[in-house]
Amino acid sequence: MKKRLWRIVLAAVIWAAAAWIGINLQWLRLVLFLSSYMITGWDIVFKAARNIVRGNVFDENFLMSLATIGAFLIGEYPEGVAVMLFYQVGELFQNYAVDKSRKSIADLMDIRPDYANVKKNNELIQMDPEEVRPGDIIVIKAGERVPLDGEVLEGSSLLDTSALTGEPVPREIQAGSEILSGCINLNGVITVKVIREYEESAVSRILDLVENATNNKSKSERFITRFARYYTPIVVIVAFLLAVLPPLLIREAAFSDWIYRSLSFLVVSCPCALVVSVPLSFFGGIGGASSRGILVKGGNYLEALAQTDRMVFDKTGTLTRGVFRVQEIHCRDDQDLSERDGLHGLGEKESREKKERDLLELAALAEHFSNHPISLSLKQAYGKEIDASRITDMEEISGHGVRAMVDGKEILAGNHKLMAQNMISYNRKDLYGTVVHIAVNGEYAGCILISDEVKEDSRRAIQELKKTGIRQTVMLTGDNEATASRIANELDLDAFYAELLPEGKVEKLEELLELGASKSKLSFVGDGINDAPVLARADVGIAMGGLGSDAAIEASDVVIMTDEPSKITTAIRIAKKTMGIAWQNVYLAIAVKAAVLIFSAFGMTALWAAIFADVGVTVIAVLNSLRALNVKGL
């Protein structure tokens, strides 16, 4: 780089001297110009000659050599040398800009751990993370990067997960926590059991995703490569015709004049600005997104994301937390559930609370042996140790609930179908959420309402999405109509479809896909748990919640590492910005080149303009695409 700069400076000085001498000392002037040319451009001419020998014409070097030598031959020495000089300066700038953006993207993805401290026979050995096997014990000191995915055995610490999730708040970890490679251990020393080998660890998977992302080319990238393939030969042919035809056909046209015009064509014919700037913008956008915890699997998906105007969400785990909690307990008022303890002397409020606790206790006991998420939430709400000896018989009725003998009484706990099956009547209240009805010895005792909570930022995310140009928001769920409608209202969604089985979700999505116009894109957001087929079917499948499920990462096009729905808006904003930059570059390059071509065909410009159209535009485009890396505040 330095050497090249010196060459340019030296050549420029000689060029200035030659220009200053003036026309009187013709031979000295020519010698100076020639030496200036040789100093700055010998390698270009050499490469051009070598490539022609290898059967590779029409490359940049060839075009530049032809244009500059052509200028010499028609006596335009100062310009001939100057064009070469500017070309070299431009190349220098271009290399610098490309290097810089490569570096800043590499920095963004600098999450590769260098070593792992493996504990072997009470000794710590530094090893390459690739050589560490699952089951090995490693020690991570403060400030070190977690080299492999593992489970903490000893110690507690704070973990900086920002490299993976873009989340600035450190996470607390202690024995039993699972940690992902790529995070940084902030304070304590922790001992960790490796659970995945390096290739399967979070770091490798993320790097792989991002590095391969640029291989999935977007339409605009394809357009540019195709454009470049025809552009260069056509411009070169036109240049040739321009140099030869007018002087032959028009009497007063001079060869040197038309050759000069055609030289501009040769200089402008290089497609580099276009071919560099578009993929560079995408690379920047994908790199920038990954720094915010959003992994985009390709330029094509970034493009589709920018064009998304309809967004379909899965409910559980995406818009809601996916964790069930007991919300309300309703007892049947005229029944005293607990005959063992008298209720005399207690106030009315206290007696109601007591009844509710008893109902919950019965439900928790009845569901004790079940692992259904609803049972777990009942047991969690009960919160006390369960005396299993009180339960003498238990039967799980799939899709309905449970039947159990508790303290010698028959307890039924389940949904309305279970009650109907056992001909137990009750006053059905309109409750939103999942309802567990409880009956004791064939008598209705009350019900417990369990529901899932809406995530804190779901509402804001939906509002923001509407601002970024999403016309329609739809929710798909397997849950019942009442719950779905409540959440859809709360979040201000445009439509919802409830009580869908997993296959039903795919069918619904296909219906929605068919409704849309051909250019409109539809994204589906899910958590990857039993909605992988839907993720795969949508124009853009967005999986939330990180590297949790392999199926989700495989099936989705965009992976959001955190649980926040608001990151979807960030992703769309990044996509739109990137697309904007890519197209700005395309229009800029084509417009400037076209203008220079037209003006030089009419002899209205000098070769300088052509040089600007080539390298100047490339440098501007490269600098512009660096903007895609900046995703702060999106």
Partner 1 sequence: MKKKFTLKGLGCASCAAKMETAICKLDGVKQATVNYMTTKLIVEGEEDQMPAILREAEKIIKKIEPDVIIKKA
The answer to the question of residue 200 lying near partner 1 (CB under 8 A) is: no
d(CA 536, CA 34): 62
Nearer to partner 1, 26 or 56 (CB): 56
Q: Which is nearer to partner 1, 50 or 429 (CB)?
A: 50
214 near partner 1, judged by CB under 8 A: yes
Distance of CA 472 to the CA centre of its chain: 22
Query: Which ranges of 334-433 does DSSP label H, i.e. alpha helix?
Result: 348-366, 373-382, 416-421
58 burial level (CB within 10 Å; 0-12, 13-18, 19+): middle
Comparison of 56 and 421: residue with beta carbon closer to partner 1:
56
Of 264-272, 385-393, 466-474, 598-606, which part binds partner 1 (CB under 8 A)? 264-272
The DSSP result for 292-324, as a single string, is TTEEE--HHHHHHHHHEEEEEEEIIIIIEEEEE
Q: Applying CB under 8 A, which part among 45-53, 371-379, 465-473, 493-501 lies near partner 1?
A: 45-53
Handedness of CA 528, 572, 276, 86 (dihedral sign): negative
Please tell me what DSSP assigns to residue 145: B
Of 228 and 431, which has the nearer Cβ to partner 1?
228
- Does 3 participate in binding partner 1 (rule CB under 8 A)? no
Question: What is the SS3 assignment for 527?
Answer: coil
Please report which helix (H) or strand (E) contains residue 118, including its range.
Answer: strand 116-120
Confirm or reject binding of residue 212 to partner 1 (CB under 8 A).
yes
274-282, 302-310, 579-587, 589-597 -> range binding partner 1 (CB under 8 A): 274-282
Of 121, 122, 126, 215, the residue at the interface with partner 1 (CB under 8 A) is 215
User: Is 187 in contact with 142 (CB distance < 8 Å)?
Assistant: yes
In this chain, which stretch among 138-146, 266-274, 302-310, 469-477 interacts with partner 1, using CB under 8 A?
266-274
Figure out which of the listed residues 56, 335, 421, 441 binds partner 1, where binding follows CB under 8 A.
56
Q: Which two structure tokens, joined as six digits, stand for 211?
A: 């590095």
**Residue 211 contacts partner 1 per CB under 8 A:** yes
Rounded distance between C-alpha atoms, residue 596 and residue 426, angstroms: 84
Dump strand ranges (E) for 161-238: 171-173, 178-179, 184-185, 190-194
Least gap, CB of 279 to partner 1 (angstroms): 6
Site string for partner 1, 279-308 (x = CB under 8 A): xx--x-------------------------
By CB under 8 A, the count of residues binding partner 1 is: 26
Alpha carbons 272 and 7: distance in angstroms, whole number: 23
Burial class (CB within 10 angstroms; exposed 0-12, middle 13-18, buried 19+) of 2: exposed
Reduced to 3 states (helix: H, G, I; strand: E, B; else coil), residue 205 is helix
Measure the CA–CA gap between 134 and 128, rounded to whole angstroms: 14
The answer to the question of residue 54 lying near partner 1 (CB under 8 A) is yes
Q: Which is nearer to partner 1, 217 or 521 (CB)?
A: 217
Considering beta carbons, is residue 279 or 401 the nearer one to partner 1?
Answer: 279
- Does 271 sit near partner 1 (CB under 8 A)? yes
Q: Minimum CB separation from partner 1 for residue 47, in Å? A: 8
The nearest distance, CB 127 to partner 1, in angstroms, is 21
Nearer to partner 1, 210 or 366 (CB): 210
Residue 272 binding partner 1, by CB under 8 A: yes
Establish if 60 lies at the interface with partner 1 (CB under 8 A): yes
Could you please report the per-residue DSSP string of 238-255?
Answer: HHHHHHHHHHHHSTT--H
Stretch that binds partner 1, among 115-123, 126-134, 174-182, 273-281 (CB under 8 A): 273-281
**Residue 26 sits in the site that holds partner 1 (CB under 8 A):** no
Among 105, 366, 440, 465, binds partner 1 (CB under 8 A): 105
Q: What is the per-residue burial (b if ≥16 Cβ within 10 Å, else e) of 188-214?
A: bebbbebebbbeebbbbbbbebbeebb
Our CB check for partner 1 shows the closer of 57 and 254 to be 57
The pattern of x and - marking residues 63 through 102 that bind partner 1 according to CB under 8 A reads --------------------------------x-----xx
509 is a contact residue toward partner 1 (CB under 8 A): no
What is the distance between the alpha carbons of residues 79 and 549, in angstroms, rounded to a whole number? Answer: 62
**Residue 218 within binding range of partner 1, rule CB under 8 A:** no
Residue 353 identity: E
The smaller minimum CB distance to partner 1, of residues 94 and 308, is found at 94
- Closest C-alpha among 400, 406, 399 to residue 382: 406
Is 276 among the residues that bind partner 1 (CB under 8 A)?
Answer: yes
| Catalytic center residues | 314
Q: Which listed residue (34, 139, 228, 588) binds partner 1 by CB under 8 A? A: 228
CB closer to partner 1, 101 vs 451: 101
> Does 203 engage in binding with partner 1 (CB under 8 A)?
no
Output the smallest distance, CB 221 to partner 1, in A.
9
The yes or no reply on residue 120 touching partner 1 (CB under 8 A) is no
Structure tokens, 443: 């008598």
The answer to whether residues 553 and 528 touch, using CB atoms and an 8 Å cutoff, is yes
93: left (phi over 0), alpha (psi -120 to 50) or beta: alpha
Report the distance separating Cα 134 and Cα 477, nearest Å.
38
- Segment lying near partner 1 (by CB under 8 A), choices 132-140, 246-254, 271-279, 479-487: 271-279
Interface with partner 1 (CB under 8 A), residue from 35, 177, 187, 225: 225
Q: Give least dist CB 98 to partner 1, A.
A: 8
Query: CA angle, corner 544, sides to 542 and 548, nearest 5?
Result: 120
CB burial readout 529-540, b (16+ within 10 A) else e: bbbbbbbbbbbb
Residues that bind partner 1 (CB under 8 A): 47, 50-51, 54-56, 59-60, 95, 101-102, 105, 211-212, 214-215, 225, 228, 270-272, 275-276, 279-280, 283
